[in-house]
């Protein structure tokens, strides 16, 4: 029976983690498609930046709405809404016949991403027993990275696969197909996991904590019985949830502007900002273009190089998950960001000196692996730890919104800076990478001076340290 309950819990978490998979898939699909729809619509650098970054502004709004929606209508129904938005966006983006239409559907997808990025990990945390919570919530983080990896595989094969031995005429035909039709198929490929996510969500229960918030104690007990099996443990869990809700109702709310809380919120916001302005999503979103235009790979072969990005990202995320509780948050952040600085500096120098090649590729992979070891997963761990209980949802929504805002700013500005006269004349195309490298230095200094080590501390101990 215990094995059955564990299997049931893992199955529920797997379904919900598909929200993370679609998060990664939807934000990653732009990396393979933008190379072709930019040519198809004959976009300027500014229009290209808008097409790529538009979904991120939708994600910002979605993240801000998720707290209200998940409380009012339940975590389950909010996730179902996100699945519907993913499906509509995938279909519409592939059907777009103008930039404006494409942007509208990308914003719809962004709403789904923002909603899922807040709701899915919260649902898993609320349904998981304490001893299994860390492992089960980590499924969501892995799903995001796995979504990136799978979309790179999908776009690679949709884009023609390995054509290294093909004639120039065949390569031209493949490229023409990708410009006219291939990018649409890349967008439509998201329909498969999106529809699957939508259907499977109807099989999961409501979060027992949400049911208790709505005073549906009997239904909450029924859900917990399927997970915990032992009635005495279920009753104990219900009593703890009820006590927590009663204390939160009667206890004066902690203000974001109370002593020390403004500083904690500042730390959370800055962690989110540094995660973005060090360049990760510029590299992931524009990876195919970087490989094609900067490093000299053919457009279709550039899709193959993105597989390296996805693989390294996935592997080093596993490393981070298994070391963050052993090495600590701060050492991982500093070590990884140093690696990011080295990777970006070598890449920038190779472009500036016009000596692109295998060293440039290795530099990009060093950057990706270092990010996956540090600013990628560790920032999410810290955001879930540093905020006091009474303001966690509000503070996290603000910090995550800042993350999406700067994601959009970086994604929009990257092609604009790359296409600028200053970049082309004075920096030979390397300016963006030098800027990102400088931001890595700022991140290292910030983490070293201001971020506390939270390894091995309870949430209450961390909360007391701010007072």
Instruction: Tell whether the model's pLDDT for residue 294 goes beyond 60.
Output: no
pLDDT, the chain, mean: 84
List the one residue out of 230, 151, 223 whose CA is nearest residue 185. 151
List the one residue out of 102, 82, 107, 101 whose CA is nearest residue 23. 82
| Per-residue pLDDT at 301 | 59
Other CB atoms within 10 Å distance of the CB of residue 127? 24
Instruction: Tell whether the model's pLDDT for residue 261 goes beyond 80.
Output: no
Higher pLDDT, 6 or 420: 420
The one-character DSSP state at 182 is I
| Per-residue pLDDT at 1 | 47
Average of per-residue pLDDT across 46-65? 87
Instruction: Tell whether the model's pLDDT for residue 133 goes beyond 70.
Output: no
Other CB atoms within 10 Å distance of the CB of residue 311? 16
> Are 382 and 329 in contact, with CB atoms under 8 Å apart?
yes
| Per-residue pLDDT at 104 | 97
| Per-residue pLDDT at 328 | 82
Query: Which domains are seen in the chain, by residue range?
Result: 1-204 (1.20.1250.20), 256-467 (1.20.1250.20)
Residue 25 CA to residue 327 CA, distance in Å, equals: 30
Q: What is the pLDDT of residues 194-250, one digit of tens each?
A: 999 999 999 999 988 888 888 898 999 998 888 877 777 788 878 876 775 665 555
Higher pLDDT, 387 or 276: 276
Share of the chain above pLDDT 90, in %: 33
Give this prediction's pTM: 0.77
Average of per-residue pLDDT across 130-156? 77
Q: Cβ-count burial of 447 within 10 angstroms (0-12 exposed, 13-18 middle, 19+ buried)? A: buried
């Amino acid at each position: 029976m215990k094995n059955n309950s564990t299997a049931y819990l893992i199955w529920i978490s797997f379904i919900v983690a598909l929200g993370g998979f679609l998060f990664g898939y939807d934000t990653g699909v732009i990396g393979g498609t933008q190379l072709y729809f930019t040519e198809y619509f004959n976009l300027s650098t500014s229009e290209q930046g808008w097409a790529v970054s538009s979904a991120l502004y939708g994600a910002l709004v979605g993240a801000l709405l998720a707290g209200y929606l998940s409380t009012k209508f339940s975590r389950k129904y909010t996730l179902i809404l996100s699945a519907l938005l993913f499906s509509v966006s995938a279909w519409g983006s592939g059907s777009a016949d103008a930039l404006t239409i494409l942007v509208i559907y990308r914003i719809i997808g962004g709403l789904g991403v923002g909603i899922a990025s807040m709701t899915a990990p919260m649902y898993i945390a609320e349904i998981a027993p304490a001893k299994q919570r860390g492992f089960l919530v980590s499924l969501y983080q892995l799903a995001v990275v796995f979504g990136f990896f799978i979309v790179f595989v999908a776009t690679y094969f949709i884009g023609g696969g390995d054509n290294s031995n093909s004639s120039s005429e065949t390569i031209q035909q493949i490229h023409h197909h990708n410009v006219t039709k291939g990018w649409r198929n890349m967008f439509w490929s998201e329909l498969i996991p999106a529809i699957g996510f939508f259907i499977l969500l109807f099989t999961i229960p409501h979060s027992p904590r949400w049911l208790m918030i709505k005073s549906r104690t009997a239904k909450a007990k029924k859900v917990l019985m399927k997970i915990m099996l032992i009635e005495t443990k279920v009753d104990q869990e219900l009593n703890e949830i009820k006590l927590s809700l009663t204390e939160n109702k009667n206890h004066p709310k902690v203000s974001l502007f109370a002593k020390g809380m403004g500083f904690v919120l500042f730390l959370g916001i800055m962690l989110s900002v540094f995660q973005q302005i060090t360049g990760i999503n510029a590299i992931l979103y524009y990876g195919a273009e970087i490989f094609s235009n900067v490093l000299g790979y053919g457009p279709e072969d550039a899709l193959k190089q993105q597989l390296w990005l996805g693989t390294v990202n996935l592997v080093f995320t596993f490393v981070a998950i298994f070391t963050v509780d052993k090495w600590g948050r701060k050492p991982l952040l500093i070590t990884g960001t140093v690696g990011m600085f080295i990777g970006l500096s070598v890449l920038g120098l190779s472009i500036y000196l016009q000596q692109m090649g295998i060293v440039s590729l290795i530099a990009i992979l060093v950057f990706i692996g270092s990010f996956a070891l540090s600013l990628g997963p560790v920032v999410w761990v810290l955001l879930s730890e540093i905020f006091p209980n009474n303001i966690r949802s509000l503070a996290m929504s603000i910090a995550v919104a800042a993350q999406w805002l700067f994601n959009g700013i970086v994604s929009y500005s990257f092609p604009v800076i790359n296409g600028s006269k200053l970049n082309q004349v004075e920096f030979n195309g390397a300016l963006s990478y030098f800027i990102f490298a400088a931001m890595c230095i700022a991140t290292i200094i910030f983490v070293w001076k201001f971020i506390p080590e939270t390894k091995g501390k309870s949430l209450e101990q961390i909360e007391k340290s701010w007072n």
